[in-house]
Amino acid sequence: MTVDTRPLAGKVALVAGGTRGGGRGIAVELGAAGATVYVTGRSGAGERSDLARPETIEQTAEHVTAAGGLGIAVRTDHSRPDEVQALIHQIDSEQDGQLDIVVNSVWGGDPLTDWEHPLWEQELDTGLRLLRQAVDTHIITSRYALPLLVARRSGLVVEVTDGNTARYRGSLFYDLAKSAVIRLAVAQAAELKPHGVAAVAITPGFLRSEAMLEHFGVTEANWRDGVAQDPNFAYSETPAYLGRAVAALAADPNIMAKTGRALATWGLYREYGFTDADGSQPDFAAHWARNLADQHGPLGEPL
């Protein structure tokens, strides 16, 4: 049996928030599957976001091309409708109206999240800013991108979240943001289904992003040294794992059977058989059930 190593050849994708972390992992793996990938975000070579991190959309686009696809970087602030509209116009013009995959991965909310205080002791402006950054951006992007998918009567929208259950995530505004994008997937699925377009939400497990590696003071080469600080880190996964999950979904001819669902890497690897970058198959839900459920309660049923 011949395995198609480029199942997304000829497909066009937009990864909004593809600068780093899960967004970068998704963009690169879509490229590895053969797609043309528009990589967007606020951190470009000429101007950075307020996070002031070193990663750029141009770097991600280069990784996409090196993986076998075609990466196209377009600096876009997804909180600005005019910039998103211009981006979609560019894709429409350059790709003759073709857009097959939309990934809403804009986040940037880590410095805005207050893990220490209840709602009534939090800075309201900061919390509302988090919601604008993490939810409004997804709505704005879909508002302008969806007409291209609807016109072709096919495609996939992916909402990237954290967790796929109703379990409280530990901070009110953070929880609202991550829960809201799951509901965005459900709502978009309902409206898009008559047009043959699917929409899903997806979560990684313990994501070993650039920021998380820095938090533990390690690199990808020696990441296991971080396990001494947190044993749960041993069950973490790279952004490539999330990316391969999304690429598998995008290549699934029966994707409409999953529309409206909140999915996770720890379930999808069993169905599609993909591995992480090192050949392993991390399963954070299984780790939670074995080691954390007694202390923190069950992870919960998928939404």
CA–CA separation, 181 and 187 (whole Å): 10
> Other C-beta atoms within 10 Å of 176: how many?
16
Is residue 38 annotated as a catalytic residue, yes or no? no
* Catalytic residue (one of 174, 235, 241, 269): 174
253: exposed, middle or buried (C-beta count within 10 Å: 0-12, 13-18, 19+)? exposed
- Token pair in block for residue 253: 């001819």
Residues annotated catalytic, as ranges: 174
